[in-house]
Structure 1
Amino acid sequence: MPSFQTRLKITALLPGNPPEAVMEAAVEALETRHHVESNQLQIAGGVPQLNLRFLVEATEYNGENQQARESAGMMRDAVERVALTGSLMVLRRNRGRWAPI
């Protein structure tokens, strides 16, 4: 199964939400469609960034990429209920390297 990764910048928490609600929302949203391999919070350029790896059912290359993009968008929508977000990247694992799709 192809492996994908999302990188979503988090710019602020919405009032009344604890920090852990951000990752919980992201993982919960992706798990409705895919197996989430890992998740972590990193600081990139002083800004928190969620990194989630997930698997997409193997079909055909462009369809897999489209499904990953749609799922990343759905994940971002879920996170935006608890936090303000910045840029979103979707990457695909290809020959041992992560490449944007």
Structure 2
Amino acid sequence: MPSFRATLQITGLRPGHAPGEVMDLAVAVVASRHVVEANQLDIVGGVPRITVRFMVEASEYDAENHLARNAAASLRHGVETAATTGALRTFRRSAGKWLAL
């Protein structure tokens, strides 16, 4: 199964939500349709960024990319119930490198 990752900047928390909810929501949303391989939180240039790595069912190359983009969009939608967000990027693992979609 091909491996992808989605990265999303977190620019703030919505009232009544704890920081830990953000990653929990992100992983739950992606895991509802795909196998989640890993997740992490980084601080890049002073801005928190979450990363969720996941696999999609193997099929045709463009269809796999489409599924990954949809998963990333769903991730953002789910996270935005608890946080405000910035840049969203989706990557595909190919020949040992992460290539932007």
**TM-score, normalization: structure 2?**
0.99
Whether 1:97 and 2:93 are equivalent positions in the alignment is no
Which contiguous aligned blocks of 4+ residues in structure 1 show a shift greater than 3 angstroms?
A: none
- Amino acid corresponding to residue 37 of structure 2 in structure 1: E
User: Deviation digits for residues 44-69 of structure 1, max 9, x if unmatched?
Assistant: 11100001100000000000000000
Q: Distance in 1 between matches of 2:92 and 2:46?
A: 25
Q: Distance in 2 between matches of 1:53 and 1:24?
A: 14
Q: Distance in 2 between matches of 1:31 and 1:69?
A: 14
Q: Once the 2 structures are TM-superposed, how far is the Cα of residue 100 of structure 1 from its aligned partner?
A: 0.3
Q: Distance in 2 between matches of 1:46 and 1:91?
A: 22
How many residue pairs get aligned? The number is 101
Q: Once the 2 structures are TM-superposed, how far is the Cα of residue 78 of structure 1 from its aligned partner?
A: 0.2
Q: Which residue of 2 is the match for residue 60 of structure 1? A: 60
RMSD: 0.4
Q: Aligned with 2:91: secondary structure?
A: strand
- Amino acid corresponding to residue 53 of structure 2 in structure 1: R
Whether 1:87 and 2:77 are equivalent positions in the alignment is no
Q: Distance in 1 between matches of 2:7 and 2:14?
A: 19
